[in-house]
Amino acid sequence: MIDDEHELRDLETIIGQKALDGNYTYVLVMYDSSKELKGSNLADVQSAAMAVQNLLLVACTLGIGVKLIGGLGDVEVLRRAVDAPHGIRPVILLAIGYAAEWPDPPQRRPLSDMLHYGKFAGKLQPNSRDP
């Protein structure tokens, strides 16, 4: 967890983004690449992502807001900045805090736009807030 003001300024420099205004704690999710299975094809990153999804669900249930920070910059520089040992790889940065307000959820796309049987049979939908 990163909540020290000096460390937050260093974090901003490394990821090339300003920290969020407000009272947030930052959590850097990492995994141990020395334990990767040969041919795992991103299984460790996927495991970290699933752990984050569980954290997001629990946080929402508790009324805590979580924002995923896109783009970690140079992950090797970030790893060294938090004194993580060699082989520990940063994956996702989260800003966690109590939200001042909860936005309305976006309208969802119909499942038929995303579900394909047997093989891909449609055009890619742009990722947007609109379905």
pLDDT per residue over 70-108, tens digit each? 778 888 888 888 889 988 888 888 888 887 777 787 888
Q: Which fold has domain 5-102?
A: NADH Oxidase (3.40.109)
pTM of the model: 0.70
The pLDDT confidence band at residue 52, using thresholds 50, 70 and 90, is very high
- Asked whether residue 45 carries a pLDDT value surpassing 80, the answer given is yes
Residues 6+ apart with CB under 8 A from 67: 20, 24, 94, 95
- Asked whether residue 128 carries a pLDDT value surpassing 60, the answer given is no
Extents of the domains making up the chain:
5-102
Question: What average pLDDT does this structure show over 20-26?
Answer: 74
Given this model, what pLDDT does residue 126 score?
A: 56
Q: Quick check: 42 and 52 in contact, CB under 8 A?
A: no
